[in-house]
Amino acid sequence: MAPMTVSPALTVGFDLDMTLIDSRPGIRACWAELSTRTGTYVDADLVVTRLGPPLEEEIGNWFPAGEIPAVAALYRELYPAFAVGGGLEMPGAREAVAAVQAVGGRAIVVTAKWEPNARLHMDHLDLRPDAVIGNLWAEQKARALREHGASVYVGDHIGDVLGARAAGALSVTVPTGPISAQELRTAGADVVLADLTEFPAWLAGHLGEADS
């Protein structure tokens, strides 16, 4: 039997932190270094329990508002040396991206992370999405999803559900980050998988339904 193929118009978007990668070890190290450099106490263990929203929101929990831009710039400067090497693939991440590309589709990353650092993570782990778009959070993600024609967006956070819904894309979620499966369902996720290891089978079924 010939392998199933679909139109190259199929585009699936993926969130990055706690969806494709477990960035907690590196981010913890980066925040610890930031705390040392600035002399400001930061509970890095707490920080990594609530990944997802933009960096500036987290910085605002520890630094005065007027310092946020400078601290964010320092954090991003430290990030390649302290955070990228600690990033790990989430279970099933490589296979999920490959499943989209294997049927002729495009797999893109749409993330709130600063885009240059998001690209460094992809290079470090040798993950090869077709595009990486950064600096977008929640409903802002819809801009990139619409631009690339994504019909599915996969994420772990309520912000990812909001982005998918704003783009008119199917919201597929995994409770591998700070948000529970029930919270994702309540937020309006169309699909909740246990983790990305279930994604290839889900995609095959989804494409089969579309062809029927």
Mean pLDDT of the chain: 95
Give 89-109 pLDDT, tens digit per residue: 999 999 999 999 999 999 999
The pLDDT of residue 158 = 98
Maximum Cα–Cα distance across the chain: 63
pTM of this prediction?
0.93
3-state secondary structure the chain: CCCCCCCCCCEEEECCECCCEECHHHHHHHHHHHHHHHCCCCCHHHHCCCCCCCHHHHHCCCCCHHHHHHHHHHHHHHHHHHCHHHCEECCCHHHHHHHHHHCCCEEEEECCCCHHHHHHHHHHHCCCCCEEECCCCHHHHHHHHHHCCCCEEEECCHHHHHHHHHHCCEEEECCCCCCCHHHHHHHCCCEECCCHHHHHHHHHHHHHHHHC
Encoding tokens for residue 137?
């959070």
Q: What angle do CA 26, 27, 29 make, to 5 degrees?
A: 65
Confidence band (pLDDT; 50, 70, 90) for 163?
Answer: very high
Confidence band (pLDDT; 50, 70, 90) for 211?
Answer: confident
Give 75-92 pLDDT, tens digit per residue: 999 999 999 999 999 999
The residue type of 205 is: G
Give 173-204 pLDDT, tens digit per residue: 999 999 999 999 999 999 999 999 999 999 99
Q: In terms of Cα–Cα distance, which of 145, 147, 148, 149 is closest to 160?
A: 145
pLDDT at 161 over 70: yes
Confidence band (pLDDT; 50, 70, 90) for 9?
Answer: confident
